[in-house]
Amino acid sequence: MASSPSIVWLRDDLRLADNPALSAAIERGGPTLVVYLLDEDSPGARPLGGASRWWLHGSLRSLADDLAALGGRLTLRRGAASDVIPSLVAETGAGAVYWNRRYGALRDVDAALKVSLRADGLVVESFGASLLHEPWKITSGSGDPYRVFTPFWRACLAAGDPRPPLPAPASIDGLAAAGDDLDDWHLLPTRPDWAAGLREAWTPGEAGALDRLERFIDEGLPLYHRRDEPGIEATSRLSPHLRFGELSPHQVWARVHGPLEPAAAANRAKFLSEIGWREFSYSILFHQPELATVNVRRDFDAFPWGEPDPAELEAWRRGTTGIPIVDAGMRQLWTSGWMHNRVRMIVASLLTKNLLIDWRVGEQWFWDTLVDADEASNAASWQWVAGSGADAAPYFRVFNPVLQAERFDPDRAYVRRWVPEVDGPEYPRPIVDLAASRIEALAAYEAVKAAK
């Protein structure tokens, strides 16, 4: 049993159960320092959007309480990991550092740190904790990453069951170091406080995540075949919990393979394949860390995106386009920090195709406003809708928001909920002619075809 302390550096894994880095530290023995860094300084770090900052505050608060209940402490520090982690090692005399892996640009920070800490004689280990399968293990026959979802997911399923989740530790011999007060990070909005709708909709933290999973198993999963209907609660809303790692996909996988009612069991495979889209997004990010800025299909670099019309962009952001399903989605997003998947596709199609605004503008708005804003899934999904991404919908497939609403919100429950004035005289006329703008979009796409 080691007598020197271990450091567990938490990032997108704000949980105690199924946390391999935490379990490794406890198994090593000796005191454990658990640290979270607010790192906006490392190369490749993207500052969190407002809704994510709100979520992070709640999640860290909950984690600190959960740790304290087991005898642990959460230390908060701010700054670049390459400075803060070595100084924590020096302050505590730690002999080991553990973390769970990241898959985007910041993995270079982790790799460099691992080399330098090991050179100083420390034990440093990283673990797979947020994906069912490590991206470098799922490759096509030729060894290249998959570009199409269906064979990717088939390969994941063929790779066998993911490891079972680990239990939460029974107790922690906690060590603390001097750190920041969470409130001093000012993650919560104050003037104005726009978070009332978020507080009403969500409970950040591990307990809230497990609660949400159980509720979904009982109420949502039996209805999951109707997941495309935004007016009913048929999807899990686990996305922000998975984003911050309050719950791992291994826990979801294990629960969904546990006892289920027949109606829920019938939807198991479909639900897991959506978790598969998350894995696919991370696989794309792993092979292209600059996914939020660079087209996956480089022929799209020739696409003639227009300069956004400020009034049109503002109407899209605020949900005043005069297109009811779009306005409903954008208001759901602004109010609750979340939007139904089908509607995300519709609003993204309107922005990139009917308004010819660069997908990166939409990606940034979602980054700021979604509680589940995710470096892999957000960028990959925007590129998917825009046509520039992996396994993307062909550009010429332009969603018609009127037909989409008729098909997926036939009783208009969703639109009426978020746009109560929709049938009144004050509701605006559409800001864009859908038929004419579709033809313009197809003409603009010719530039991509010419660039091939």
Residues that bind ligand FAD (CB under 6 A): 227, 235-239, 242-243, 274-275, 277-278, 281, 341, 344-345, 348, 366, 370, 372-374, 377-378, 381-382, 385
CB of 344 to ligand FAD, least distance (A): 4
Beta-bridge partners for 9: 35, 99
Nearer to ligand FAD, 283 or 320 (CB): 283
CB of 180 to ligand FAD, least distance (A): 27
Nearer to ligand FAD, 92 or 281 (CB): 281
Nearer to ligand FAD, 172 or 441 (CB): 441
Nearer to ligand FAD, 108 or 274 (CB): 274
Nearer to ligand FAD, 348 or 350 (CB): 348
Residue 33's alpha-carbon distances to 150, 160, 173, 174, 251, in angstroms, are 42, 35, 9, 6, 25
Residue 156's alpha-carbon distances to 131, 275, 281, in angstroms, are 11, 11, 13
CB of 176 to ligand FAD, least distance (A): 33
Nearer to ligand FAD, 179 or 362 (CB): 362
The answer to whether residues 2 and 123 touch, using CB atoms and an 8 Å cutoff, is no
CA 280 to chain centre: 13
DSSP string for residues in 352-375: IIIS---HHHHHHHHHHH-TT--T
As to burial, measured by CB atoms within 10 angstroms (0-12 exposed, 13-18 middle, 19+ buried), residue 119 is exposed
In the chain, the amino acid numbered 448 is: V
CB of 46 to ligand FAD, least distance (A): 12
CB of 363 to ligand FAD, least distance (A): 8
CB of 419 to ligand FAD, least distance (A): 20
CB of 69 to ligand FAD, least distance (A): 27
Residue with tokens 């292209």: 288
CA distance 372 to 204: 11
Q: What angle do CA 331, 336, 285 make, to 5 degrees?
A: 95
Nearer to ligand FAD, 7 or 138 (CB): 138
